[in-house]
Amino acid sequence: MTNIFKKFNEDFFSKCNRTIKWYDEQGVFRTTDGLVTITIDDVGTHNNYNGYWVEKINPRVGTIVKKFFRFSDHLTMVHRNERDKHSHVWLNNGTFEWYISKPKDTKEMTDVMFDWIDNFITLP
């Protein structure tokens, strides 16, 4: 089961220029002053994953800042029709897949996330 999340996250972030180490639902990358975690989450409905929590952590003081990035706010989705507008992934019979609608390109969301992250980090 854990490899399902890891593979989805690696694919979602495959076009970003950061090295993220994925552990199931959560990815981590180090900065010179701490680390950043990125965690896919099912906020609102169990097993309907609709975005990522991004958290900047300083080892001495803990969480510096945390923000939820919702797929519907940052992805251009290709909808099957106008009535079926969805923007989440779900666990379906042991697979992790987009529910009906799929994003045109996940890079548009990862760019927004890293633009926000860069406000709070010092890169090594």
Nearest to 8 by CA among 99, 74, 112: 99
DSSP annotation of 122: -
What CA–CA distance (Å, rounded) separates 95 from 1?
8
Residue 20 has a pLDDT of 96
- Residue 52, classified by CB atoms within 10 Å of its CB into exposed (0-12), middle (13-18) or buried (19+), is buried
pLDDT < 70 stretches in the chain: 1-2, 80-84, 122-124
Residue 2 has a pLDDT of 61
Residue 65 has a pLDDT of 94
Residue 11 has a pLDDT of 94
Residue 60 structure tokens: 């001495």
